[in-house]
Amino acid sequence: MTNTKFLVRVNRSGTRAPEYVQRIDRTPIQTTTNRKLALAMGRFTAEDAVKSIQNSRCNPELVSVQVSAQ
């Protein structure tokens, strides 16, 4: 069985590689360029993270991933 989880991808102006949200419990939110270290979260948590980091320099977007439940 697979579950759908979400990653938040952040495209900042001036950087080439996209960044992903790594931790959301700190201010500012920590990001990483390594997708494997990105935080897989539920849709509502991911939407809250997107709302909290939206500004003129960042373009956050939700990316869905399939996670197998074991």
Cis peptide bond prior to 18, omega within 30° of 0:
no
Q: Does some domain include residue 47?
A: yes
Position 27 scores a pLDDT of 74
Q: Does some domain include residue 50?
A: yes
Reported confidence tier of residue 56, pLDDT bands at 50, 70, 90: low
pLDDT per residue as tens digits for the range 28-51: 788 899 999 999 999 999 998 888
Pick from 34, 40, 4, 37: which is nearest to 19 by CA? 34
Mean per-residue pLDDT, 51-57: 79
Q: Give the percent of the chain with pLDDT over 70.
A: 96
Range of 41's domain? 2-65
SS3 (DSSP) at 54: coil
**Chain-centre distance of CA 68, in angstroms?**
19
CB-facing half-sphere around the CA of 61: CA atoms within 13 A: 6
Position 64 scores a pLDDT of 92
- In the chain, the number of structural domains is 1
